[in-house]
Amino acid sequence: MAKDKAPRRPRAEPPKGFRDHFGAEVTGRRAMLDTIAGVYHRHGFDPLETSAVETVEALGKFLPDVDRPNEGVFAWQEDAEADRPGDWLALRYDLTAPLARVAAQYRNDLPSPYRRYAMGPVWRNEKPGPGRFREFYQCDADTVGAGSVAADAEICAMLADTLEAVGIARGDYIVRVNNRKVLNGVMEVAGVLDPADPERFSAERGIVLRAIDKLDRLGPDGVRALLGEGRKDESGDFTRGAGLGAEQAEVVMGFMDARRETGAATLARLHALAGASAIGLEGVQELETIAELLAAQGYGADRIVIDPSVVRGLGYYTGPVFEAELTFEILDDKGRRRQFGSVAGGGRYDDLVRRFTGQSVPATGVSIGVDRLLAALRERGRAGAASAGPVVVTVMDRERMADYLAMAGELRRAGIRAEVYLGNPKNFGNQLKYADKRGSPVAVIQGADEAARGTVVLKDLILGARIAEGASLEEWKARPAQQAVPRTDLVAAVRAMLEQG
């Protein structure tokens, strides 16, 4: 086979954790992003597209460290210049960090509040695994410069609208809303937050947050163990806990369990739990305002609910946090029924821009996991049909290529997707196999005989595919497998076949 004795050939594969997207996958995602952009646009959000590459210092969080600067991100160092070492650059790991940079850089030019949306790939330098990729799409909407929780309510309502616009039925999703301030109030009541010394207990609070975030996976007992001394998992690995006493832990557990039948009852319960703390009270009041604004717009508990179990892992949230979950069941890898789960999340982060300017700028936003949402739509059979293959004009006589090109051109001018077979035409069977592989609905054939008679033969490949799929030949009796039509009727006859479907 191989004739070269050249140096070792490169492997024909992408790096581990990266992948390629073909055909309908690409157009399906594009269609979904266009729909989402339409909803965001109607809400007054403007598109922003930042570069894929940022300086590591602007990205923050991952600070350069001579040995291992690229923990979690893909990073590299620029060439040194005469007077200074090269900057460390990195691929963006989300769309929020670049927004914070833009909001700081253009703070004098952008409208305030600044509503923007962004969609595109982000990159994570993590160990790839099944279903875990190192490049994936995000689709974010954020409002920068609005301190009012009306901005959070707007994001939640828009998130619900977006899910319905892309094809998730009402009832198949729920947007759950919580507030970090309430959680902080609970922490204060539990004695792991000291308003006079906010840095104190920060390690413990980190563990508490992560523990709460794992409620789904570990159950109440697992979380309680992590709130206390720690937890040994099935593999025997020990995770150190937050070291809370039993009474302290119960305050936190009570918070996660605070959801009641109605939003009002949940809010009353949260008030009872955290109202003794100033920050906790503020949080409860914010949730009340959000609930009122949403109710006034008709977003009821069938779409958006207050749910204290939502905490969102990221450290930077400072107020309301929210999450959209799809509630229908799917079968997991092991054939067990489970809920589809989270497809979007976000919240208020009032301190990201301050890193650059020293001035706090209120901001809130949401990020939709595009790939997960697409998977969900596929699961619901609403991902949009695979795009139809082209009409294939076959080549019976390679000297008459110009005639075949003319046929394809006529079809295209009539809006019909069409192409001429451009492989080696010698084996006609290969041409029909090719048309099959393309999902072509119709093959156009014109040999010397047909040309002499001024006709073309149209072969119905949809029919062929249906028969292969099991439709009985009887059903298709009235439908000819192929027909000769006058050359001048080519476009009309093909269109009729396509409409017959």
Query: What are the DSSP calls for 316-361, one per residue?
Result: T--SEEEEEEEEEEEE-TTS-EEEEEEEEEEEE-TTTTHHHHSS--
Two tokens, residue 20: 């390629």
Backbone angles phi, psi at 159, to 5 degrees: -60, -45
Does position 378 bind a second copy by CB under 8 A? Answer: no
Stretch that binds a second copy, among 96-104, 175-183, 304-312, 368-376 (CB under 8 A): 96-104
Does position 290 bind a second copy by CB under 8 A? Answer: no
Does position 479 bind a second copy by CB under 8 A? Answer: no
- Tell me the angle at which helices 180-190 and 263-274 cross, rounded to the nearest 10 degrees: 40
Return the SS3 of 410: helix
Q: Which of 154, 204, 325, 460 binds a second copy (CB under 8 A)?
A: 154
Residues 229-288, interacting with a second copy (CB under 8 A): none
Of the two residues 161 and 250, which places its CB atom closer to a second copy in the complex?
161
Stretch that binds a second copy, among 107-115, 201-209, 216-224, 453-461 (CB under 8 A): 107-115
Output the smallest distance, CB 111 to a second copy, in A. Answer: 4
**What's the CA gap between 500 and 460, in Å, rounded?**
11
Residues 296-335, interacting with a second copy (CB under 8 A): 296-297
Of the two residues 89 and 377, which places its CB atom closer to a second copy in the complex?
89
Does position 65 bind a second copy by CB under 8 A? Answer: no
Instruction: Decide: 89 and 53 in contact? Cβ < 8 Å.
Output: yes
Does position 214 bind a second copy by CB under 8 A? Answer: no
Does position 48 bind a second copy by CB under 8 A? Answer: yes
Instruction: Decide: 99 and 119 in contact? Cβ < 8 Å.
Output: no
Stretch that binds a second copy, among 148-156, 235-243, 318-326, 466-474 (CB under 8 A): 148-156
Nearest Cα to Cα of residue 421 among 462, 452, 390, 459? 390
Residue 113: cis peptide before it, omega within 30 degrees of 0? yes
Of the two residues 27 and 339, which places its CB atom closer to a second copy in the complex?
27
Residues 401-440, interacting with a second copy (CB under 8 A): 401-403, 405-406, 409, 412, 415-424, 434, 437-438
Q: Which of 36, 93, 96, 115 binds a second copy (CB under 8 A)?
A: 115
Tell me the site size for a second copy, rule CB under 8 A. 103
Q: Which residues contact 451 (CB under 8 A, 6 or more apart)?
A: 397, 400, 403
Does position 350 bind a second copy by CB under 8 A? Answer: no
Of the two residues 387 and 482, which places its CB atom closer to a second copy in the complex?
387
> Any bridge partners for residue 320, and if so which?
179
Nearest Cα to Cα of residue 457 among 478, 500, 428? 428
Backbone angles phi, psi at 84, to 5 degrees: -160, 160
x-marked contacts with a second copy along 126-145 as a string, rule CB under 8 A:
--------xx-------x-x
Nearest Cα to Cα of residue 88 among 112, 68, 109, 118? 68
Output the smallest distance, CB 24 to a second copy, in A. Answer: 9
Does position 19 bind a second copy by CB under 8 A? Answer: yes
Does position 54 bind a second copy by CB under 8 A? Answer: yes
Of the two residues 336 and 437, which places its CB atom closer to a second copy in the complex?
437
